[in-house]
Amino acid sequence: MNKKLLLIVAFGLFPILLFGESFLKDSNQGKNERQYWCDLLYKMTEPVLSNMSKGQLKQNMLLELSPSWDGRNKDVAYMECFGRTMAGLAPWLSLPDDNTVEGKQRKQLREWALKSYAHAVNPDSPDYLGWKAHGQALVDAAYIAESFLRAPSLWKALDKQTQERYIKEFQGLRRFTPVYSNWLLFVATIESFLKQAGAQADFYRITLSLLKVNEWYVGDGWYSDGSKFAFDYYNSFVLHPMFVECQEVLTDGGKKGAWNIDPTKFGKGLKRMQRYGVILERLISPEGSFPVFGRSITYRTGVLQPLALLAWRGWLPEELSEGQVRSAMTAVIKRMFHDDRNFNEKGFLTIGFNGKQPNIADVYTNNGSLYMATLAFLPLGLPADHSFWTVPARSWTSKKAWDGEEFPKDHAVNEK
């Protein structure tokens, strides 16, 4: 080896020798974490979209039903699978194309997604979804509508006939009466999208739903799911995200009133979600786990949706830095998906929390339901050079606390 090359190698290795292997890990951590998220989301969604883009999801999906399945039409599984997938995936697909590994993954998924959107509303397609078969369609049509709210570019990329079919199907869902619970927000989300798309929307269904959910706020970042409080993660799965997103559409981000919705309520809803995000971050253990309680725990990383939404939209409260939120979320995602235990033989998610655990499923659970897990990946909608991905990693609250470091004390937040 000549002297020049020896000097290059020596100086190249010096930081590693001085600081250890962690030097390289820390200097590229955000980049490496992002690619890990991309690879995992691709793995999770590829079986869904590659099949549905060809009209073969119903044919090829390895379907799993809860052992206590309540007997409803099992075809609801396919709408659940597609709708929930797109609600989590849409922000990432809205980024422009590039020649990176991630860019190629994103472009492929987008191509499949646009074809899948068309199959979903084409009555002649084998993958036409069950828009009229069961009231459950209200739920998962809302996640499809939410995907369009989160990524308008995907809606604009659809041909006119497909757009018209969606509007007709969404409006036709008024045939179903929602359950008196978080389901009100599914109605509101569908109608909010219709408003945003310039179609005929039922403002009564939106405002009544939002006013009622507002009445269910019990304080310190928590909503009751209906008239009775339940200690579960439905504040993550539905209540906070959809309440804020519908308010944003209806009030133009809190800039103007709409019917009897006070635009200042948008700010209150956002602050409530920020407080809930603070609580959620503190629930993440130093090891990257979170408490397992309540129904629908099979939705796995869907629990993280409010943190994901706050990060993606630039709404994180001052108590939460981007570095600590990214690190905490990555710890959970890796803890849960570091191996293949959460996928079945054909690559679809399997019923369970961390592995195949069918007996924890609820009566309505199928493995299409589980694609709520994609909702944790909303920050991929931020470009790779965004500060969320480039700032140094930071310890999250419980890690600091259990490692004996200084950490901020917590206190309740009450509305004035």
Give me the phi and psi of 48, to 5 degrees please: -70, -55
With CA atoms as reference, report the closest residue to 226 among 212, 245, 247, 243.
212
Q: Is the pTM of this model over 0.85?
A: yes
**Can you give the pLDDT at residue 252?**
79
What string of DSSP letters covers 27-86? HTHHHHHHHHHHHHHHHHHHHHHHHHTTT-HHHH----B-TT-----TTHHHHHHHHHHH
pLDDT of residue 347: 98
List, in order of start, the domains of the chain with CATH numbers: 25-402 (1.50.10)
Cα distances (Å, whole numbers) of residue 216 to 185, 189, 228: 12, 18, 9
Alpha-carbon distance of 325 to 303, in angstroms, equals 14
Phi-psi region of 98 (alpha: psi -120 to 50; beta: other; left: phi over 0): beta
Q: How confident is the model at residue 20, as a pLDDT?
A: 46
pLDDT in tens, the chain (416 residues): 455 444 433 444 443 444 444 434 554 677 799 999 999 999 999 999 999 999 999 999 999 999 999 999 999 999 999 999 999 999 999 999 999 999 999 999 999 999 999 999 999 999 999 999 889 999 999 999 999 999 999 999 999 999 999 999 999 999 999 999 999 999 999 999 999 999 999 999 999 999 999 999 999 999 999 999 999 999 999 999 999 999 999 887 667 766 566 767 678 999 999 999 999 999 999 999 999 999 999 999 999 999 999 999 999 999 999 999 999 999 999 999 999 999 999 999 999 999 999 999 999 999 999 999 999 999 999 999 999 999 999 999 999 999 999 999 999 999 87
Q: Which residue has the tokens 């659940």?
A: 80
Residue 346, helix vs strand vs coil: coil
What is the DSSP secondary structure assignment for residue 340, as one 8-state letter?
Answer: S
Of 86, 60, 157, 164, which is closest to residue 122 (Cα–Cα)?
Answer: 164
CA atoms within 13 A on the CB side of 275: 19
